[in-house]
Amino acid sequence: MNPRRILVSSVLTIGVLSTIIFGQLDASPAPARFGTAPFVNRPYASHRTPITTTWYCPGVPAGDGTVGGEIVVANPTSTPKQARVTLLGSDQAAPVSQDITVPARDTFTLSVSDALKATFVSAIVELDGGDAMVEQRAIYPAGDAVSSCITQTSSSWYFADGFTIDGSTDQIILTNPSADSVSVNLAFFTAAGKREPSAFQGDSVPPHSVKVVSVADNGLKDERIIGVQVIASRGQLVVARAQHYFGGNRLGYSLTLGAPAPSEQVWFVDGEKGVGISEQYVLFNPTDIDTSVGLTVLGLGVAAAIVSPDPIAVAAGEVVVLEASAIPDLPDGRHSMVFSTVDDSRPSVIIERVITRPAGTKISTTVVMGMTSEYAVGRWYVPIGVGSAVDQALVVYNVDGVDTTVTVKAIGPGGEVAVASLTDLALPAAGVITIDLTDPSVFGRLLVVESSQRLLVERLLPRGHDFNGRSGSWALPECGLCNFSSPPSL
């Protein structure tokens, strides 16, 4: 089977799949299929308050004065938080540590490039207590990119969408935050099949360091699809991917945290069909068992016809690309998507969404890793928000088949305060809406998005540098009630 297959037409509806998507055809809020995760596989904010919490940030560029990055620590509580930030660099840079205080109901921003110079710099943030949260912003001439940090390392990491067309760069950022060396094996999955370069079998990542792998420089130039698998045979690490697009109908910069494991169900909120918009979903099966994946288009409302193509066959070790424009009768405008394995409940796919939209006289590409179902909750944080007015800054999907409302709150000296213009916004059952962040009370503030029903929330932030276009990223779900199979350790 060809490892790279472009889906150009599918017309049959998956009736069974359509009826199991969170009561979309039923007014009851009770879910019919909501998977559990064996461990934490996406960033989240916690209700719990342990003695200390450690966050691992995937890395930002900090090699010279043209690039940089920020570590943003957000404290929603009424008391200041103490933290110790340790920066780890590539290029054999020595780690740098400093103690910080995060004011109550405020954020603290650390400029990475002011503290350490290296091609990429990652961060370990050790917090007193568990209520604060950490994100990073990569500052890059081709557009800034926000990513949440994560509270667990892993021995495995995956990416579906690699891209080296027209000189585009694709870098894998391996961060070892531990005091022991980590031994890793890298594999790449392309149209030509699986490649396991000998240089990256048993490769060592030294203690407290960052190693950067340039995909194109290892025999993978001009590849449109590159699935990546990173397996640590000894130790655990954090892995991210940085991409700078120069062509092939992509422009801009992306920096994405990997997925620690395959999933059985993957969600996306910010889909859009319109003139000049390219929307792709890249599915990667890193397991040794063939699978089939069903797709349901969401966000059209419970009364709308559900457009579901045939199940997508994704063979073991295969990467498949779905062009959203090929889905029959997909209407113009916003929509959301959910992908689920349909043959059984095996976690077997990594899925990323690639959207390229018109941006002034150019285009802007953003890539987002799919969210798994256990993180659908009624309360989300936005640690890195907006500094000025931004239209359609948030995209919110109502997971349940019940009409609801959404309120945005800003956290300031007086605590959480509902934004008057963003209170009780109507969100239909199984619907998707965008939220403008134009009220001055939200500028520079930690925000909360909440509802009585479960939500999924993506944000679309400006790229900066006088560029048009947006960079997509998930907000942080507040997981006191997330459907983990066992409580995650912090």
**Mind spelling out the 3-state secondary structure of 171-222?**
EEEEEECCCCCEEEEEEEEECCEEECCHHHEEEEECCCEEEEEECHHHCCCC
Q: Residue 35 in contact with residue 332, Cβ under 8 Å?
A: no
Using CA atoms, how far apart are residues 474 and 397, in angstroms rounded to an integer? 12
Below-50 pLDDT ranges, the chain? 1-38, 486-490
Q: Phi and psi of 166, rounded to 5°?
A: 55, 35
Q: Residue 285 in contact with residue 317, Cβ under 8 Å?
A: yes
Q: Report the pLDDT value the prediction gives residue 479, as an integer from 0 to 100.
A: 85
Q: Report the pLDDT value the prediction gives residue 130, as an integer from 0 to 100.
A: 78
Using CA atoms, how far apart are residues 156 and 138, in angstroms rounded to an integer? 23
Q: Which two three-digit tokens encode residue 21?
A: 């998507």
Q: Which of 242, 356, 338, 354 is nearest to 299 (CA)?
A: 338
Number of helices (H), then strands (E), belonging to the chain: the values are 2, 37
Q: Which domains does the chain have, with CATH numbers?
A: 45-148 (2.60.290.11), 375-479 (2.60.290.11)
- Model pTM? 0.90
**Which secondary structure element, helix H or strand E, spans residue 115, and what is its range?**
helix 112-115
In the chain, what is the greatest distance between 2 CA atoms, to the nearest angstrom?
60
Alpha-carbon dihedral 98, 101, 106, 107, rounded to 10 degrees:
0
SS3 for 368?
Answer: strand
Q: Report the pLDDT value the prediction gives residue 305, as an integer from 0 to 100.
A: 59
**Which secondary structure element, helix H or strand E, spans residue 476, and what is its range?**
strand 476-479
Q: Are strands 252-257 and 238-245 parallel, antiparallel or unpaired?
A: antiparallel
Q: Are strands 476-479 and 45-46 parallel, antiparallel or unpaired?
A: parallel
Q: Residue 156 in contact with residue 186, Cβ under 8 Å?
A: no
Q: Are strands 390-398 and 350-359 parallel, antiparallel or unpaired?
A: unpaired
Using CA atoms, how far apart are residues 183 and 203, in angstroms rounded to an integer? 5
